[in-house]
Structure 1
Amino acid sequence: MNNYNVIIFDLDGTLSNSKEGITKSVQYALSKFGIEEPDLDKLEHFIGPPLVDELMKSYDFTREQALEGVEFYRERYKPIGIYETEIYPGTEEMLEMLKGNGKYIALATSKPLPMAEEVLKYLKIYSYFDKVMGAELKGPRQSKVDVLEALFDEMPDSITKKQCIMIGDTCFDIDGANTVGIDSIGVDYGFGDKDEMLAHGAKAIAYSATELCNMLLK
């Protein structure tokens, strides 16, 4: 897979284990609506998709309620939850190897861009990225497809989609890649299901950052 010169990473569940920060912040937001969920494992499905969509889907919120829920979520996430994350083993070494081999490294996440940049800086891996793209805090750019399209708009014109591959841990990443016309690899150490990712068209599954690095440099 060394023919891919542009490596586009998801963030949560792909580069970092952000379960604690995200699920505790969702738990906090739900409590504002009188919904108590003590089991954080049951809130893992909020990691990956846009929060508004998942609140509407999982709790039958109206769009207005979901938007209010996002504001409650950010009340806890921005000062506390954003730092309740840790980098997956081997990830920094992988990024260093990819960079050393001349790869263009980008980020495409449904997390709002300012928060994504803060996480990368907190994890001390921001400098490896040539381009970082995330969702808008209040604008229309929210889905993985929206983010990927915005990323392509801002990358150099010399980059073609055949050079690009998306790395993610859920079907949202794989489906987003399919929609914009690029290949994808799933990682098994995040929050998605490997069989679902393969069924949705992932070219391969990596079981560690080290294995992923080897795949991308073969």
Structure 2
Amino acid sequence: MKVVIFDMDGTLLDSKKDITISVNKIREIHYNMPPLSEEFIVEAINMEVRNLPKLFYGTEVYHERDRNAFEIHYAIQCIQNPYLYDGIKETLLELVNKGIKISVATNAPTPFALRMLKHLGVYELFDVIIGADKVAISKPNPEMLENILNFYKFNKSAHKAWMVGDNSKDMLSARNAGIDSIFATWGFSPISNHSLVVSNPKEILDIVL
């Protein structure tokens, strides 16, 4: 058995525009702050160590009203502008057709992930979709990946698995779970020194098949 676990934002799909719109909406309505650039928001999200409420709203922790308002806004906003990266759907279909098991491990909340993947027409291709709300600690902690591997009754001596992602948290989660990682350069963090690097989704097939 072969298993490929995909990150979502920056790996399967581009969600930068909608994340930026929702963050800036909270800045506007709660703090009367000017908008942040898309580049700043994406870089902040992908930092290994960061304080997002401080960077986004100037607060040391997320206030409940900010979190709730963001989730209400993004629940609608998240399907306004996302798109699958070129070659992703074809690659997913080919993996499934070849009998490869595929799942999603995302630090986004699961309801957003389900909504976006359904909207983009690839939801039914995945066996498991796990978001940050389903685990105690999100990536780079390996819990998300371990839950998926346990679903498949994965045996490291007999089976093979890869984590495909676009940032260091994805790569570290794979290492912490004891599986291989594939770095996708088309995502939110295009620079990598990882051993397995792909610049096109279809290159994943060359590694896995």
What TM-score range do you get, normalising by the shorter chain?
0.7 to 0.9
- Contact between 1:110 and 1:147, CA under 8 Å: does it hold in 2? no
Q: Does 1:164 align with 2:161?
A: yes
Change (3 A) 1:46 1:72: farther
Residue in structure 1 matching 2:199, options 207, 212, 217: 207
Unaligned runs of 5+ in 2: none
SS of residue paired to 1:83: coil
User: CA offsets, 1:60-98, max 9 Å, x none?
Assistant: 522243x54322221221012333200111111101111
TM-score normalised by the chain length of structure 1: 0.82
Q: Does 1:20 align with 2:17?
A: yes
SS of residue paired to 2:148: helix
Change (3 A) 1:122 1:70: same
CA distance in 2, matches of 1:54, 1:38: 13
Change (3 A) 1:38 1:147: same
Q: 1:71-90 maps to which residues of 2 (within 5 A)?
A: 71-90=68-87
Alpha-carbon offset, residue 127 of structure 1: 1.5
Match of 1:35 in 2: 33
SS of residue paired to 1:110: coil
Q: 1:1-218 maps to which residues of 2 (within 5 A)?
A: 5-31=2-28, 32-48=30-46, 53-56=51-54, 61-65=59-63, 67-136=64-133, 140-145=136-141, 146-153=143-150, 155-160=151-156, 163-195=160-192, 198=193, 202-217=194-209
CA distance in 2, matches of 1:25, 1:149: 31
Change (3 A) 1:168 1:182: same
Compute the RMSD of aligned alpha carbons. Answer: 2.6
Q: Look up the equivalent residue of 1:203 and give its one-letter code.
A: S
TM-score normalised by the chain length of structure 2: 0.85
CA distance in 1, matches of 2:84, 2:8: 10
Alpha-carbon offset, residue 49 of structure 1: 7.0
Alpha-carbon offset, residue 172 of structure 1: 1.3
Alpha-carbon offset, residue 151 of structure 1: 2.6
Change (3 A) 1:181 1:96: same
Structure with the largest fraction of helix: 1
Moved more, 165-174 or 35-44: 35-44
- Contact between 2:163 and 2:181, CA under 8 Å: does it hold in 1? yes
Moved more, 26-35 or 92-101: 26-35
Unaligned runs of 5+ in 1: none
